[in-house]
Structure 1
């Protein structure tokens, strides 16, 4: 993009779309400037950001609303899908702790960070903070150092939450968000999904889930009982930084009060799309920023629905998780009400339309088992014995970064983000000479 175009402070007076021009009055140069869209194509994100600002400047002008169709015209002509995530508005520092549905939310956040050139706090080791493997609370020492003079904008990884250590990395105005899931469906899903990863579940896998929930103490021996031992009892409560073996009413109540004080938003997995709009509102983002594609859908099985008796047993065994979930399920609906029913319905329709557009343009109609994915850079993780389904790119979209980003696996995103931040660090050190 030409430097003089970048520097223009525009006060829009007229747009001549039929000629493919933006006619603008430059306050700096006091002259009418014609900006050809073709001049801006080399940097699509900068272009869309630029055009967004032009649209805002039109609010108090005489141009008719019907003339504001340049975004779709632009994205079509340059083979970029509608609604690219290329905006330059300010983002507060974010820290996201997710106890379920990690892939979807993390993909949304990391794509936003990538497109806005934000700095993400990354683990020094592989994909998880090392403390998580041993069930220890998060430590700021586990985060890869960021380039000098840069600050971390976002952390979005599984961890055992530690507010004191997190505050060493993020500013006081950081927004804290977490996600909870119904303990009944979460617990059964975890039992099968992590059957070969969590020691307690592995011991019970031959006997089955019903056997475990009917006689849990036979398999679970308490704190420290093997790898990922806390998955077997009040896993969400533990991830939030609390003692999952303490189920006294007073302790759970205090934990809930503490969570309310720390977390700005607690989302509910069962109401995923509603949660996306609440997230969008909290972060002052656009609806386009929270659009997603299914990341790692479990292949459908004929597993029967949980009956009332089994559900009750799960709730009783995971009492702390259950009380925590039910409390924040109630507060979630308070936030939905504050959002506004009519506004929510309207925005849900828009979000659905954007997601449908992505699916239509980016992906083949049928999802495929990840075991059949040949491109390793797009192959989703799944534990041994578990098959997940994922989207496959249309042939024409295999080099389209917008489409690829929607289904890029977590580890690949972390590698890509890490490489960019390492490059920034190298350039910063070189400039100091």
Structure 2
């Protein structure tokens, strides 16, 4: 009887061993990624030293909001514009005196964790502000859509745009309106993203020059995202920064109403590629590298699952925070602190929060919906409580 029991026990142990082996082999065969089974379990500490080159009309205001929120929630320091400035010296090349807290410090021993306001990239000067282990990233957009957005947003600001009735008209004969020597305000009218990276936006698109500049960007930046694939960009950014899901969930900020969006003719779209040839080369190159990096990091199944996780969480927070998931016209936004700055012919939209939100929920929702200028002023007051607050007219009652 005892020998029978022992035999049964051994058989049971052998069966368990084979079952475990079968599960192990099945998992390997199916390529199960256990990080997806516990999607918010981060194995390593999050990246906290970050420089984001905020390009123009590329969904960069939404990323700035993400970085501001992360900085505040993790008690980090942010390199903010000095005094009454709202940018870090743009459109001039960045120098350290544009940062609050560094103007009187000749030794520049103080470093910040995050740098994300508009500036024209100047690597030697940025290095003086940011730690050696800083993660550098930026974002680009298809130049056709980037220039269309710039034309509407800077219609009354850029001399090159002021007299053209439409972007189609401008592109039909751009040199009729554009003069590179007139004003730095015209940087928005030609190769604006190239200019943001610190290069000459009026340089000929000579391929030796282009390749040299592209190699420099690759050397300086760890990642260049693509605004046309914003969700995919956030999935890859989250992995690179080792952040939690809620850290990169966002509401779209600084978006226009569809009534102010122009649909360019096919001829105009082709003309953009020639007029903004440097931007086009920049975009084409880093669009390729973006997808190469994304596919090297995630399988198609992983990408699909992580995109769905991101979008589901966005839907949850939208339902939790907002009266209406669709952004509203300025005149329909109740809270002045949530009314976005208006520029040119663009109709910039914003959000109304739901009433009756609890203190913690209200704190989260307010910061997700807060427009760029108000958010910058808020961060400035937190970081420099003894200095005169930023004067943001939209916040005045």
Q: Same fold (TM over 0.5)?
A: yes
- Deviation readout 1:375-402 (Å, 9 max, x if unpaired): 2211111214422222210111385101
Aligned match of 1:418: 380
Aligned match of 1:343: 302
Aligned match of 2:331: 371
Q: Does residue 242 in structure 1 map to residue 242 in structure 2?
A: no
For the Cα contact (< 8 Å) 2:86–2:373, is it kept in 1?
no
Aligned match of 2:390: none
**Aligned counterparts of 1:235 and 1:408: Cα–Cα separation in 2:** 26
- Deviation readout 1:205-230 (Å, 9 max, x if unpaired): xx3211110100010112x3225211
> Closer, same or farther in 2 for the Cα pair 1:90/1:333, shift >3 Å?
closer
Q: Does residue 322 in structure 1 map to residue 284 in structure 2?
A: no
RMSD across aligned positions (CA) = 2.5
1:377-396 mapped onto 2 (5 Å cutoff): 377-396=337-356
**Aligned counterparts of 1:154 and 1:303: Cα–Cα separation in 2:** 33
Aligned-pair distance for 1:151? 3.2
**Aligned counterparts of 1:144 and 1:367: Cα–Cα separation in 2:** 33
Aligned-pair distance for 1:173? 1.3
- Deviation readout 1:121-173 (Å, 9 max, x if unpaired): 000044533631xx310011110017998630000011110001000011221
For the Cα contact (< 8 Å) 1:296–1:388, is it kept in 2?
yes
Aligned match of 1:196: 156
Aligned match of 1:353: 312
1:17-56 mapped onto 2 (5 Å cutoff): none
Aligned-pair distance for 1:301? 2.0
SS at match of 1:131: coil
Aligned-pair distance for 1:306? 2.9
Aligned match of 1:121: 79
Aligned match of 1:144: 100
SS at match of 1:144: coil
1:87-126 mapped onto 2 (5 Å cutoff): 89-99=45-55, 100-126=58-84
Aligned-pair distance for 1:415? 1.8
- TM-score, normalised by the number of residues in structure 1: 0.73
Aligned match of 1:256: 214
Out of 370, 384, 387, the residue aligned to residue 408 of structure 1 is: 370
- Deviation readout 1:278-299 (Å, 9 max, x if unpaired): 1111111122210001223211
Out of 103, 107, 115, the residue aligned to residue 155 of structure 1 is: 115
For the Cα contact (< 8 Å) 1:140–1:165, is it kept in 2?
yes
- Deviation readout 1:49-75 (Å, 9 max, x if unpaired): xxxxxxxxxxxxxxxxxxxx9xxxxxx
Residue ranges of structure 2 left out of the alignment (5+ in a row): 1-37, 388-397
- Deviation readout 1:328-351 (Å, 9 max, x if unpaired): 000010011012122111111111
Q: Does residue 174 in structure 1 map to residue 131 in structure 2?
A: no
**Aligned counterparts of 1:180 and 1:327: Cα–Cα separation in 2:** 11
- Deviation readout 1:242-283 (Å, 9 max, x if unpaired): 111112211111000000000000000000000011111111
**Aligned counterparts of 2:267 and 2:329: Cα–Cα separation in 1:** 34
Of structures 1 and 2, the one scoring higher in RCO (CA 8 A, sep 6+) is 2
Aligned-pair distance for 1:409? 1.5
Q: Does residue 270 in structure 1 map to residue 232 in structure 2?
A: no
Aligned-pair distance for 1:185? 1.1
Out of 292, 296, 315, the residue aligned to residue 250 of structure 2 is: 292
> Closer, same or farther in 2 for the Cα pair 1:230/1:150, shift >3 Å?
closer
SS at match of 1:266: strand
**Aligned counterparts of 2:96 and 2:126: Cα–Cα separation in 1:** 6
**Aligned counterparts of 2:260 and 2:128: Cα–Cα separation in 1:** 47
Aligned match of 2:146: 186
Aligned-pair distance for 1:314? 0.7
